Structure 1
Amino acid sequence: MAAQRYSRCKNLNIYWTVFDRVIGQPAIIDGFVMDMLTADEADHLVDLLNRGNQESLWCLAERC
């Protein structure tokens, strides 16, 4: 199994950042830094990004 490109990192008391290990910086989607997320949001986003499921990202943004 290949190493996961994306992971979550805790930044403040209750918030998380989705981190891109390849570029060594927070992940950016459509110009937005994936930061200040709840643990559930970060987990879901990391899962979607690691699976390469870009269509589901739009659904996440629209809260489908």
Structure 2
Amino acid sequence: MFGLGTTELLLILLIVVLLFGAGKLPQLGAGLAKGIKNFRKTMSDDEPAGNATKGTDDIAAKKD
């Protein structure tokens, strides 16, 4: 996993615990999971990228 061994991962986990405290870890994990879920949902939308500007073109046409 990204060239990190067990020792490096444990060291990173220890630093995170020291910075945020053990009580904040569930909140951090939940926030991270929510962000990943939203990212995946956005990436898997069926709307092609070309249609994303269609709404702004309509607004610009109405404005003129």
Q: Same fold (TM over 0.5)?
A: no
The structure richer in strand per residue is 1
More RCO (CA 8 Å, sep 6+): 1
Larger CA Rg, structure 1 vs 2:
2
Instruction: Please give the TM-score of this superposition, normalised by the length of structure 1.
Output: 0.26
Instruction: Please give the TM-score of this superposition, normalised by the length of structure 2.
Output: 0.26
The structure richer in helix per residue is 2
